[in-house]
Amino acid sequence: MTEEQKKGGELVKLLKEIYPEPYCALEHGGDPWRLLVMARLSAQCTDARVNEVSVGLFEKYPTAADMASADRGDVEKLIFSCGLYRMKAADVIGASRMICEKFGGEVPCDMDGLLSLPGVGRKIANLILGDVFGVPGIVADTHCIRICGRLGFYPEEKRDPSLTERVMSGVIDPPEQSDLCHRLVQFGRDVCHARAPECGSCPLRPICHHYENTEKNEKRNERNTSAQIR
């Protein structure tokens, strides 16, 4: 086991202690098509808004077959408050049509099939694979990219989802990957915020590269200030 894999194990252990029961913030009820639609709607939108909007959307279009024949203008109206509504409506209708025409009405359960659907990239594909089909994967969303960079698994300034997925897939035990990503979302919202991470009270300090650097800089500054006073 490499040092990075040991650190990956430590990350899993610490986050499990904080969040014993991870969950997907999108309320999809275990339905892969609903998760696909909701994940597409969630781009640049909050999960809470997506959950709210999806109630009305799925009431009117409860299945992929219903969505496949939906009127685009109507879907746009229903999802308007999620933002980017034109593109998102085109994608959810397009993906639903392809699911019906090419996949017999079932969301494909493999990466290639998922990636062939409009609006589905590796982040959404890994989310569906992990949450519904039990296939391990790293969901490289904004929280995962930011936190794993701060922890030092790769340079903090890199904001590259493929790098995050590649590196983290190599250091996190596969059965832990999907749950870890849900925990990272929770942790990113509660503690390791994008703008002002709450490092002072953070339980990940012992394994955090960002914290180590900040602490070193603060000590250096303190030394410089006291030297100037003297």
Interface residue list for ligand SF4 (CB under 6 A): 147, 150-151, 191-192, 197-199, 202, 204-205, 208, 210-211
Closer residue to ligand SF4 (CB): 69 or 221: 221
Three-state SS annotation for 138-194: CCCCHHHHHHHHHHCCCCCCCCCHHHHHHHHHHHCCHHHHHHHHHHHHHHHHHCCCC
Q: Rounded to the nearest whole angstrom, what is the least distance from the CB of residue 198 to ligand SF4 in the complex?
A: 6
Name the catalytic one among 91, 131, 141, 179: 141
Closer residue to ligand SF4 (CB): 15 or 38: 15
Q: Supply angle C-alpha 17, 177, 63, rounded to 5.
A: 110
Q: Rounded to the nearest whole angstrom, what is the least distance from the CB of residue 113 to ligand SF4 in the complex?
A: 35
Name the catalytic one among 91, 123, 131, 179: 123
Helices (DSSP H) in the chain: which residue ranges? 3-18, 32-41, 47-60, 64-68, 72-79, 85-102, 111-115, 122-132, 142-151, 161-171, 177-190, 209-229
- 71 catalytic? Reply is no
Closer residue to ligand SF4 (CB): 161 or 197: 197
- 16 catalytic? Reply is no
Q: Rounded to the nearest whole angstrom, what is the least distance from the CB of residue 151 to ligand SF4 in the complex?
A: 6
Question: Where in the sequence numbering do the catalytic residues fall?
Answer: 123, 141
